[in-house]
C-alpha cells in the first residue's frame, strides 16, 4: 500500500522452493547486471522467490500485501458483508481488492474507497481517489466518495520511506499512524475498526493509550505474510466506542 507523498511501501515475506528429481534448487538467482546495485539484485531475487508474490500474480491481486489483510481478517473478522471501508495509501490496490471481496462492494453500491497520490489500476467495486491523504481536502473527498456514510473500517498501510536509521523510520511512520487515527476517530461508525501499519519501536505509549480509550480491544498483529525479519507490525483497534472530545486527544 502506498503512503502519502514522499513515502514508499514496506512489504514483506520470503520463500524459496527446492527442485525434485534433478536435485537442483528452484531458487531463482539474479545475475548482477552492469550498473545494478547489490541491494537491487537481492531485492529482485527475493521478489522472484517469494511465494506470496507468485500467489498474488496467479490469483490476480495487485500485490502480496493482499494476503496480510486476508490473514488478519481471517483471524479477527475485521471486514463483514455490507461494511463500508476507507483504505488510506491504497496503491497498488491489494487491500482494496480484498475489501471489495469481503464486503460485497460493487459499482452499483460502492462501499470501498481508496486514496493514493500514485497512479494505480482501477479496482472493480471500489472508488479510487488520486490525491495525497495529507492534503487538507482529502478527508472530505473520502467521505463524499463514500456517499456521506460513516465507514465501518478505516485501513492504513501507509509507511514512510526507510532511511536506514531505525529510530527515524519508526518516528516518521508513527506520525502517519497518528494522522490516520485522527481521521478514524472523526469518521468511524460506533463499533467500527481501525487497522494501521506501524513499526516495532519504543514510542507507542501515548498512541496505545489513545487507542485503548477509544476502542474496546487493541492488538499488535504480525501476519504470516509479513517478511521474516521485518520490523513491520499492525495495530488493530476494534469496536470504536464513539466520539468523545475528552477521549480523542493524543
Could you list the active site residues?
A: 197
Strand, helix or coil for residue 237: strand
| Residue at grid coordinates 520463500 | 15
Return the sign of the alpha-carbon dihedral for residues 193, 194, 197, 199: negative
Q: Which three cell numbers, joined as nine digits, stand for 36? A: 545494478
| Residue at grid coordinates 481471517 | 74
Measured CA to CA, the distance from residue 149 to residue 235 in angstroms comes to: 24
Q: Is the bond preceding 92 in cis, omega lying within 30 degrees of 0?
A: yes
Which H or E run includes 240?
A: strand 232-240
Measured CA to CA, the distance from residue 195 to residue 152 in angstroms comes to: 11
User: Quick check: 30 and 250 in contact, CB under 8 A?
Assistant: no
From first CA to last CA, the distance across the chain in angstroms is: 25
Measured CA to CA, the distance from residue 219 to residue 236 in angstroms comes to: 5
Measured CA to CA, the distance from residue 157 to residue 89 in angstroms comes to: 6
Amino acid at each position: 500500500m502506498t503512503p502519502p507523498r514522499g513515502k514508499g511501501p514496506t512489504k514483506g515475506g520470503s520463500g524459496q522452493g527446492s527442485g525434485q528429481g534433478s536435485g537442483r534448487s528452484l531458487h531463482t538467482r539474479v545475475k548482477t547486471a552492469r550498473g545494478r546495485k547489490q541491494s537491487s539484485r537481492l531485492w529482485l531475487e527475493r521478489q522472484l522467490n517469494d511465494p506470496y508474490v507468485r500467489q498474488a500474480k496467479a490469483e490476480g491481486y495487485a500485490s502480496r500485501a493482499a494476503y496480510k489483510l486476508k490473514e488478519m481478517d481471517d483471524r479477527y473478522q475485521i471486514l463483514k458483508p455490507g461494511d463500508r471501508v476507507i483504505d488510506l495509501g491504497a496503491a497498488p490496490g491489494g487491500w482494496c481488492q480484498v475489501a471489495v471481496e469481503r464486503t460485497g462492494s460493487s459499482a452499483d453500491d460502492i462501499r470501498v474507497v481508496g486514496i493514493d497520490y500514485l497512479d494505480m489500476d482501477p479496482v472493480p467495486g471500489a472508488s479510487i481517489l488520486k490525491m495525497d491523504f495529507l492534503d487538507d481536502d482529502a478527508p472530505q473527498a473520502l467521505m463524499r466518495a463514500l456517499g456521506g456514510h460513516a465507514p465501518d473500517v478505516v485501513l492504513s498501510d501507509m509507511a514512510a520511506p526507510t532511511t536506514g536509521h531505525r529510530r527515524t523510520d519508526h518516528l516518521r511512520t508513527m506520525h502517519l499512524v497518528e494522522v490516520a487515527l485522527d481521521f478514524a476517530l472523526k469518521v468511524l461508525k460506533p463499533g467500527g475498526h481501525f487497522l494501521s501499519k506501524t513499526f516495532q519501536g519504543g514510542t507507542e505509549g501515548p498512541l496505545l493509550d489513545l487507542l485503548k480509550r477509544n476502542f474496546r480491544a487493541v492488538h499488535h498483529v504480525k501476519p504470516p505474510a509479513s517478511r521474516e525479519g521485518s520490523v513491520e507490525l499492525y495495530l488493530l483497534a476494534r469496536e470504536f466506542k464513539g466520539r468523545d472530545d475528552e477521549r480523542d486527544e493524543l
